[in-house]
Chains A and B, each alone.
Chain A
Amino acid sequence: MHDEPLNQPAQPSPSGGDVAPRPPDHDKVQKHDSADSADSAFESERSENVEADSSQPSVAGVSTERVSAAALPAEAQSVKPMPSEGAARGPLDVAAVADDQLHPLDPRFVPVERISGLITMTILCVPSFFVLLVASFFGWPSRWWIVAGWSGWLVITAWLLWLTLHFTVLSFRHTHYRVNDIGIEIRKGVLWRSIATVPRSRIQHTDVGQGPIQRRFGISKLTVYTAGTVHSSVELSGLEYQRALLIRDYLISSEESDGV
């Protein structure tokens, strides 16, 4: 369990093939390089400028660029992160997270999901295994029940194992997000896919949460709450903790100007 995060060579495998997720610190390093001395007094102005800059292409010529991204989400994420004019303060700037690029989750999402999946599996499968063992030892209630029980157990265990080992990779590969001047866009789902766009001005409040395993791996879950009914909350699990905080700060930074 403790070996997992150190097991770096295993990390690229979840995304596989052409996806090739960046190591989590990739963005951080880039932005650190591009950082210049930021005056905190101009902080807000600059972030607005960045918004305005990125808004022009996105409102006018949106469709073609992003439609292709939608059609081929896997390729779309190979684009380079962040234009360098977004001045950074510290390793990552609040405005800098709004780079209008599709990002994959942090690759540590996979081991975290696998570990929690394995824990669930253990809780479900081990006791039932022993119950079945005892039952077959005493031959109760009947032979057919025992055969059915064992085969059911095998099927369910295999299914859970598949979910834990393979499906986590699939869902990792199919989850992307984009933060831009509009707000946050979250793409999810392996079979039933959805792309949810939450405009920044509609966000009521946000949560960044970490479970114990997530905390150990340094990733977190971002939850965005809106006044909507069906999508009153939109979740994105598997963000690097610092990044989640920055996204949160960026998303709620506009709220006071809305005056809701």
Chain B
Amino acid sequence: MTEAAPITNPPPDSAAEPRWQRLHPTSLVFNAVSRLWALIVPLVLFFVFKPGGTWELWLGGIVAIGMFFEAWMYFTTKYRLAERELIVHRGLLFRSERHVPYSRIQNVDLIQNPLHRLFRVAVTRIETAGGNEPEAMLKVLSLDAVEAMRARIFQRRSSDAFASDQPHGVTAHAESEDATGSDALHDTSAREILVLSTGELVRLGLTSVRGFALVAAFVALLWQFDIFEQIVDRFDEISERVTEAWRLLNGTAAIGIWVYIVLVVVALTIFLLLSIVWAILKFHGFRLVRSGDDLRFTCGLLSRFSATVPRNRIQLISVRESFVHRWMRRITIRVETAGGAGDNDDESAHFSQKWIMPIVRRDAVDSLLRELHDHATVSHIDWQPLARGAARRIVKKRLILTVVLCAPLAFLLHWWTFALAALLVPLVIWHGVLSARRMGYAHTSWGMIFRSGVLIRSISMTMFNKMQVVTARTTPFDRRHRMARLFVDTAGAGPAEHSIAVPYLPAETVESLRLELSAKAQQSRWRI
């Protein structure tokens, strides 16, 4: 890529115009199977109950229509890797021809279930920046075809970027890459960045949010068993029962409590094990390689997932460290790329973004971040604090919130409320002060970094050329304290994830930051 394009005006590729290609023949089978799977309930019902009459005909008809439709789809779907775009052609009666320019393609993801792997095929998902759903979904392509497509898309795109002033300056070099890049995962230029051993996967299972989600599910389950009602009921009796606590512990009621405790412990263990199993299933054989400016990873025990994330498409880098992480000296790195935003239902949509580096050693984090962006780092950052008085405001706000939320409890707990307050208030103050101290931003030569969180610490960073809208906000309270908050919007800043939103800054700081960041954003070019 680094060689200058020698040919200024090459003849258009039309001589070597790529032909239309079909999906892999096994798509017929896979699509038929998934179609049958959709009809599984009526089919099972049919074979269980065996109703007479015309049922067989109806069901057979539906299945036949489904099969016919799938076959039709297979024989009418074709794609072509044209000069500068991918063209997907669908349909015979209602035709659609979608043109996806290579320069717009964000990532190419592959999903392979075990059967797909047996036949060496994969579901291919091609994403662009806009829209919630993948731009093109090709079910299924042979791995060779996928690799050819990948090589074509990414080589072509980077040569576009390289020779953007020469629209037809695609060099012969790119062509040769096409040939050799057929199995780029084992390419000589590809460099291994991160490989996860089973031990790491166990740690990943322990740190995954999934574990906490399961605990939450467990709490919900307890709720079903009315245990909380019992606990609340008992609060009234506790004062009476304190004197006979010993007898209770040895009596029948105590056995009930112990049973619950044992249940909790067993359930927690099961859920932790489940989390570990989930991590192993999902991330077995995790391998992240960098070839040129593309990051590629593959993982999965049964269903294999593989994705390509071009480095220059990374909009936001987020480093997350929960207390479990800290205990194991590990860290999770996530990236946001534009595309597939909002499609939260589909697990695999955000897969490549969420899990680009699911668990890495704390001491390796800087070298790994550098693989994502040349300047990205989490150490030696000149953190700027919040405005003076920010801690007081945070504490005050949280105390008010605590009082409002806990006020109804006073009717339930009576004088125990004071005990609760004596417990909660110092906690709230401590947490508020710590979180104010922990929050900070840094304005570097290449972008903006923001950190926050006490128990779960996050550091997010974005580059000037990825900033979209810079916003300064004030509430009436902010203005009274001469503070403001700064928000830097990026493409693909998932609403639920950590983003660059710095509260409680001095108003003048926010104003100068806003001007400076937006000026630098304007000066830099944004290529998604």
Residues 168-222 of A at the B interface (beta carbon under 8 Å): 181-183, 185, 191-202
Choose the segment among A12-20, A62-70, A102-110, A115-123 that binds chain B (4+ C-beta atoms closer than 8 Å): A62-70
A6 at the interface (CB under 8 A from B): no
- Counting chain B residues whose Cβ lies within 8 A of the other chain, the interface size class is 35 or more
Residues 302-343 of B at the A interface (beta carbon under 8 Å): 338, 341
**CB < 8 Å neighbour of A234 from B469, B479, B507:** B469
Query: Could you tell me the distance between the alpha carbons of A234 and B508 in the complex, rounded to whole angstroms?
Result: 24
Closest to A201 in B: B522
Query: Could you tell me the distance between the alpha carbons of A196 and B470 in the complex, rounded to whole angstroms?
Result: 6
Q: How far is the CB of B315 from chain A (nearest CB, A)?
A: 9
- Would B489 and A226 count as touching, CB distance under 8 A? yes
- Would A260 and B495 count as touching, CB distance under 8 A? no
Chain B hits for A59, CB < 8 A: 519
Residue of B129, B467, B508, B519 contacting most chain A CB atoms (<10 Å)? B519
Q: How far is the CB of B4 from chain A (nearest CB, A)?
A: 19
Contacts from A to B (Cβ < 8 Å): 58-59, 62-63, 66-67, 70-71, 181-183, 185, 191-202, 226-231, 234, 258-260
Total of A-B residue pairs, C-beta within 8 Å: 122
- Would B528 and A228 count as touching, CB distance under 8 A? no
**CB < 8 Å neighbour of B511 from A66, A181, A230:** A66
Closest to B522 in A: A199
- Would A182 and B518 count as touching, CB distance under 8 A? yes
- Would A228 and B493 count as touching, CB distance under 8 A? yes
Q: How far is the CB of A81 from chain B (nearest CB, A)?
A: 21
- Would A231 and B475 count as touching, CB distance under 8 A? no
Closest to A190 in B: B476
- Would B491 and A228 count as touching, CB distance under 8 A? yes
- Would B519 and A58 count as touching, CB distance under 8 A? yes
Q: A182-B518, A201-B522, A202-B526 are in contact. Are A194 and B492 (CB under 8 A)?
A: no
- Would B512 and A202 count as touching, CB distance under 8 A? no
Q: How far is the CB of B516 from chain A (nearest CB, A)?
A: 7
Residues 471-508 of B at the A interface (beta carbon under 8 Å): 471-476, 479, 487, 489-495, 499, 507-508
Q: How far is the CB of A97 from chain B (nearest CB, A)?
A: 16
Query: Could you tell me the distance between the alpha carbons of A10 and B70 in the complex, rounded to whole angstroms?
Result: 68
Chain A hits for B499, CB < 8 A: 230
Closest to A197 in B: B518
Closest to A195 in B: B472
Query: Could you tell me the distance between the alpha carbons of A99 and B369 in the complex, rounded to whole angstroms?
Result: 41
Q: A62-B512, A62-B515, A231-B489 are in contact. Are A201 and B472 (CB under 8 A)?
A: no
